[in-house]
Structures are given as structure tokens and as C-alpha cells.
Amino acid sequence: GAGVSQSPSNKVTEKGKDVELRCDPISGHTALYWYRQSLGQGLEFLIYFQGNSAPDKSGLPSDRFSAERTGGSVSTLTIQRTQQEDSAVYLCASSDDRGRGETQYFGPGTRLLVL
Amino acid sequence: GESVGLHLPTLSVQEGDNSIINCAYSNSASDYFIWYKQESGKGPQFIIDIRSNMDKRQGQRVTVLLNKTVKHLSLQIAATQPGDSAVYFCAENLYMEYGNKLVFGAGTILRVKS
């Protein structure tokens, strides 16, 4: 597609349930990033993929959070046993990552509300 | 740790005036910077970027200035319009062993008064 897409756009879940968030990066982009944005806040880095591997997972807040990427394309962020503090917008971005500094292009985000 | 910060969390300007949004960064080795615009309910949108071998770069109605001596970045918007109302983020690129990593500032809210 023309840009980064994410699904679902909105997700309401009950505390304790698992959720899966999907990201489709720009075709050909090797790097993929997940961020979390709480209401009125900045972007919190979660994880970085280069191809299918994740050399930087330093931003994942707990072991309830995991992510994978398959075929060097689609990525899924999974949150197990969701808590109310997980409520936020989850943003995905992708880039060419060919050298020193490449623009990251963002998707529209998934708005997660944990009741 | 490394950080990028903004001086003003909220900026209100009159329509037609020029806007200046400021940002300080802490990593002197950073060589690539980006400004993003985020409208309500949307993801951040690329506005303009600049590499450290430049002091100034101009786009359509926007100009980014980079002062490496004091590690300061600014975004200037000419003839600000209501559609410019958004949150603006600066980002600093850190080149890691495994690839690139952007560190984002806290954001500045720009409100345009008609």
C-alpha cells in the first residue's frame, strides 16, 4: 500500500484479556518500529525490527508485551493479560533504514482502551 | 540517558503570524533530525528533516534551523493557518550498532487563533 496501515483502529477490551495489534509497513521497508503514546503525551519507544529480528526490545514495559514480524513485512504486537494502564495509542512506523538516519513513516495507530 | 526536549509545551499564535517551535537535544553525535506534526486522532506526519551538515533547510512554508553549537533545533512556520494546529514533535536520530533509533521530544501544542 501507499502508507503504513494498522488494525484495528480501535480496540476495547476487558482487563485480563489478550489483544493483538497489527501493522502493515510500507512495502520494501526493512525497519519497523512500535511506539506507545498515552493521552497528551509523547512517543514511547517499544521495539525495533530489522527484517524479522528484533535487535532492540528495550522499550517493552513488561513480559506481558511481545511482538513478532514475519516475512520481513507484517508485524503483530501482543499484550497479554491487559491492564488498565495499557490503555494508549499504539503506533507503528517503518523506514528504509539504509544508513545513518532515515525518515520513519507512521501509521494511524490503534487506540486501545482496557476497561 | 539521551534526551530531546522542548522549551514550550503550548504555543498560541494568531492566524497569519509566523510560528517558531524550539527543541533542545543532548547528543552531540546526532546527525539527523526530523520534525513531525500530529493532528488529533492521527499518527505523526513527517514535515521536514535536516542533517548535521546543514544549518537551515526550507520547505513549503516551513523552515528548520539547526544550531549544533548549542544543540538547538527550531521549526518555523510562515503565515500560520488554522490547519497548522497540531502537536509538533522534534526527533533526534541515534545511530546504533543495529540501526537507527529516533528519540522524540515531549511535543509542543500549536494553537492557531482565527
Q: Are B71 and B48 in contact (CB under 8 A)?
A: no
Distance from C-alpha of B20 to C-alpha of B46, rounded to nearest angstrom:
17
Three-class SS state of B40:
coil
**Separation of CA B86 from chain center:** 12
As a whole-number percent, the residues of chain B with pLDDT over 70 amount to 93
Give per-residue pLDDT as tens, B37-89.
999 999 999 999 999 999 999 999 999 999 999 999 999 999 999 999 999 99
- In angstroms, the CA A92 to CA A88 distance is 13
- Show which of residues 32-91 on chain B sit within 8 Å of chain A, judged by CB atoms: 32, 34, 36, 42-46, 49, 51, 89
Q: What is the pLDDT of residue A50?
A: 92
What's the Cα-to-Cα distance from A88 to each of A25, A69, B5, B59, rounded to whole Å?
Answer: 20, 21, 22, 32
Dmax over CA atoms of chain B, in Å, equals 48
Give the DSSP letter of residue B105.
-
CB within 8 Å: B43 and A31: no
